Structure 1
């Protein structure tokens, strides 16, 4: 059996001066909209956390697999049937 060695992925923690989750979510959406073309960034895995509670993370996007291999870009709390219908694609 051949073993595959994978390199660890690195996380960029980007602290902000925002004081609310809604503002942080809006910033994450703006970053995805403006930097979505950068293949080194996995926006589907974006999470938010309070500065002093970084171990408690809130997922921003659903990121479920859609037919054809794309990922759902709707918020995490959307009704599940939207993913099944494929309407979460960009």
Structure 2
């Protein structure tokens, strides 16, 4: 299954660079290990930027999380960055 989620630019850049390998999210989509997540960069002022990263969930836990929330570890599969209207 592939899920689509918004992600703010500062977090998106950390995912693409490989520094951020996890997400803390509300578990309202029944996330499972091996699911793919399309992280779509989004800003409050502009909406979707067109940049996106596809990640695969490798581990899930709800340890020490608020009710209904999980942490999932992920591995970057691919990404595209949009600059000046062109995809890279």
Q: Scaled by the length of structure 1, what TM-score is found? A: 0.30
- The structure carrying a bigger helix percent of its residues is 1
Q: From the CA coordinates, give the structure whose radius of gyration is larger.
A: 1
Q: Scaled by the length of structure 2, what TM-score is found? A: 0.31
- The structure carrying a bigger strand percent of its residues is 2
